[in-house]
A and B are shown apart, each in its own frame.
Chain A
Amino acid sequence: DAKTTQPTSMDCAEGRAANLPCNHSTISGNEYVYWYRQIHSQGPQYIIHGLKNNETNEMASLIITEDRKSSTLILPHATLRDTAVYYCIVMGKGRDDKIIFGKGTRLHILP
Chain B
Amino acid sequence: NAGVMQNPRHLVRRRGQEARLRCSPMKGHSHVYWYRQLPEEGLKFMVYLQKENIIDESGMPKERFSAEFPKEGPSILRIQQVVRGDSAAYFCASSQGRANYGYTFGSGTRLTVV
Q: A: which residues have CB within 8 A of B?
A: 32, 34, 38, 41-46, 49, 51, 91-104
Nearest-Cβ distance from residue B48 to partner chain A, whole angstroms: 5
Within the complex, which residue of A32, A51, A95, A101 is in contact with B43, where a contact is CB–CB below 8 Å?
A: A101
The answer to whether A41 and B89 have CB atoms under 8 Å apart is: yes
In terms of DSSP, what is the predominant structure of the interface of chain A?
loop
Q: Select the stretch in B13-21, B64-72, B75-83, B105-113 that faces chain A.
A: B105-113
Size of B's binding interface in residues, CB under 8 A: 25
Q: Which residue of A lies closest to B102 (CB)?
A: A46
Query: Which positions 83-112 of chain B face chain A at CB distance < 8 Å?
Result: 89, 91, 93, 97-100, 102-108
Contact of B12 with A by CB under 8 A:
no
The answer to whether B102 and A96 have CB atoms under 8 Å apart is: no
Q: Which residue of B lies closest to A34 (CB)?
A: B102
Encode B23-45 as 1/0 by CB contact (under 8 A) with A: 00000000001010100001111
Nearest-Cβ distance from residue B92 to partner chain A, whole angstroms: 8
- A-B pairs with lowest CB-CB distance, top 3: A43-B105, A101-B43, A93-B99
The answer to whether B107 and A32 have CB atoms under 8 Å apart is: no
The answer to whether A44 and B91 have CB atoms under 8 Å apart is: yes
The answer to whether A101 and B42 have CB atoms under 8 Å apart is: yes
